[in-house]
Amino acid sequence: MTGGLIGIMCLLVFLFFAWLMLSGRLPALLALPLMAVSIALIGGIPAPEILSDVLGKGAVRLHVAFTTAMFGAMLAQLLTKTGITLQLIRWTAEYAGDDQFILGLTLTGLTALLFTTLGGLGTVIMLGTVILPIMLSVGIPAAAAGGLFLMGINLGGLFNLGNWQLYKEVLNIPQSQIMAFVLPFGAMMGIIVVAFLAWELKKIKRSSLLWTGLLLFSATSLFFLFKRIPSLPDSKPFFLLAFGLFTLFAFAQRLWKPKTDAPWAALLTPFVPLFLVLFFGWDILPAFMGGLLYGVLTTWRKNGINLLTQSIFEGASTSIPAVVLIMGIGMLLNAVMHPKVAQAIAPLMARAVPGHALSFVLVFAVLAPLTLYRGPLSLWGMGSGLVGILMTTGLLPPPAIMGMLLSVGQIQGICDPTNTQNVWTANYLSINTGEVLRKTIAFAWLAAVAGLIMTAFRFLPW
């Protein structure tokens, strides 16, 4: 077969398996490895190489990413078992008062902060059963409450270190570059969340606007602080020593006065990994380990070691679906990036991929809804193959691919009816997932366009 015919057949295979996933006939866990093998066979990769390179090496290509996912799940289990998560929610609800706007904004912010570390449907259910009734009790409409909750989950996911690791490995992007994009994009997302809440509530008190301004000012200050601290290497040992002494002090306090509830110092546990990465430049895996150690010490009790062991075992088991999916992504990447396949696909993609900034924004802004239903722009669906294809062409630099995926991914993360968190949230609120989609799509699309514009300005020629 000629190179052009091979390329067309590989794309047809991609579309066929995409249709299987989209129609629900085949889960992504199985579709991705089968797609990888099919593309490898069509591309003429020898059978021994398919076994060794595509399947064998592909399964462990993203080993750091799925190891990070496991450690993130372990920390999430520890937060649940020690009661830190529920105590944070109760504390926030108690001090936020009964102002609809302030309470909705505060609980959404808390959800985002928690999901910088947490993940999984179990955590969604645990948080949702507490947060959603509080929102409903002050008169926030059900669909708006569901939209806010999902926006909070998605906003936190932007800063989730496990997600960063996937981009680091797949696109070979340094952590500092991911951070430099995510921080301002997260700030834009925060403003869009405020706009969504203001639109839904219609009437807002002046005091609410004042508090919102203070919150945004604080967030902006933290953003510049995060940018400033890493440039001061001489101050890092001092801050790290201070953090270590604070941890030991909290541990000693637990030994002196043991309690069953989580102390105030322990409430910082979900933010410790992000703190270690942003302030001290730690790698993601050691940062998660630091979070586990901090959480155990600050909530110390007689069965502390058993609690940590249970969190490790249960966290590892709950992360298995994500681990298997990431293995499939690695296999597919090895298949489409093999020289035989890459050379056949590259000419076809060269005609379709926009390389100029303006066309990049226009094309992907229009195609952004293709992230829905695990579509071709969803990294956690059909798009995992597209990433490999884009990498082989070299028409878009890796940071631009990252920015595009993070931007259009806002629609999938917030609105997609196939997300388990969307299904559970809609069912809990006695509405349907379509209503959540209609409520949030305009704001999620706005976020996608804003992210694409920022990506184009930063990474592409005009």
> What is the number of H-type helices and E-type strands within the chain?
23, 0
Q: How confident is the model at residue 452 (pLDDT cuts 50, 70, 90)?
A: very high
Give the model's pLDDT for residue 117.
74
Residues 349-382: tens digit of each pLDDT? 656 677 678 888 998 898 888 777 665 677 665 5
pLDDT for 216 beyond 50: yes
Closest C-alpha to 114, from 149, 64, 145, 142: 149
- Kindly give, in sequence order, each residue whose CB lies less than 8 Å from that of residue 60, ignoring residues fewer than 6 positions away: 327, 330
Domain residue ranges of the chain, discontinuous segments joined by +: 64-320
As a whole number of angstroms, the distance between CA 358 and CA 457 comes to 9
Angle at 19 between CA 418 and CA 10, to 5 degrees: 135
Residues 303-325: tens digit of each pLDDT? 778 888 888 888 888 778 778 87
